[in-house]
Amino acid sequence: MKILVTGAAGFIGSALVRALSARHPQAHVVGFDIVPPDAPHVIVGDIADPQVAASLVDRDTTHVYHLASLVSGGAEADFERGTRINLDATRGLLEAARRHGCAPIFVFASSIAVYGGDLPETITDATPPLPRLSYGAQKLVCEVLINDYTRRGFIDGRALRLPTIMVRPGAANTAVSGWASAIIREPLAGRDYACPVGPHTGMACLSLKRTVEAFVHAAALPTAAFGSDRTTLLTGISVTAQEMIDAVQRAGAGRKLGVVQFKPDARMQAIMDKVPQATRSERAARLGFTSSASIGEIVADYMATLK
């Protein structure tokens, strides 16, 4: 049993590798990422290189968890690299599976960036995808490819449309939602933080713990559970910036917390004013995926990782 995880040194990927190694102790779990050579248990390379992507899947590969990507802000700033990483590399993995005839379970990290335009406050299974960023367009094309490669029997695909995942440790990446992790992470570390959006700015959120559970669960479901549409929207609860701060203050009672000040950036605020406030998927519930119960649970899950 060979399990490949791309983006394995990342926020979600590193947690997923640990979970899969614990769940499948006899399996060969292979991580891949573009990380420093001393990163443990991870093969280093640039998935934007077509030869690298094509080499990662072989005839012994039973599972692929494809998380590697250049996220929203990065893909918008560098269209060519975003296309190579987010679209071409995915096709390279799919083609390698087709050539080797291994038909792996292929779990893909998609995003609610596939939605755009004049969106409702809550995205549901009925909301049509209409991406307005290159990142979202690339993710949507990959979903279509996964449907088609599955139809032809080259893979057994499953794609998860992710809301904002919290709480990201360390420095923020190029995602426009990076403030949502910082507003929790920084005060708990005793550092002050200037939030670039206003207190009533909200978004759809899911904890890292529930996200990892979702990837593991997606791979364990029988093929027939998904039908011809292999993509599932995950439910993300609605949380505002002020509610995040309030949850930190409750959970961090007795700790020396950093102070959060609201210093809205006009460009960032304009972007965030257009994002959905929540996602709700009856399909995900039927399939047994579990959402976060509250922002308190998300903060508690993060604090558990600090001990």
Instruction: State how far the Cα of 94 lies from the Cα of 303, in Å rounded to an integer.
Output: 37
**Catalytic-role residue among 115, 135, 149, 302:** 135
Neighbours of 8 (CB within 10 A): 25
Residue 131 CB neighbour total at 10 angstroms: 19
Q: Which two tokens stand for residue 151?
A: 């139809």
C-alpha neighbours within 13 Å on the C-beta side of residue 220: 12
For this structure, is 135 an active site residue?
Answer: yes
Q: Tokens for 48, please give them.
A: 């934007």
Q: Is 138 helix (H, G, I), strand (E, B) or coil?
A: helix
Give the angle subtended at the CA of 219 by the CAs of 214 and 19, to the nearest 5°.
60
Contact 241, 200 (CB under 8 A): yes
Residue 63, strand partner residues: 3, 105
Looking up tokens 């949850």 gives 247
Q: 3-class DSSP state for residue 226?
A: coil
Place of tokens 């005060």: 187
- 213 contacts 173 by C-beta, under 8 angstroms: no
What SS3 state is found at 295? Answer: helix
Q: Is 7 helix (H, G, I), strand (E, B) or coil?
A: coil
Residues 6+ apart with CB under 8 A from 237: 204, 205, 206, 278, 291, 292, 293, 294, 295
Catalytic residues: 135
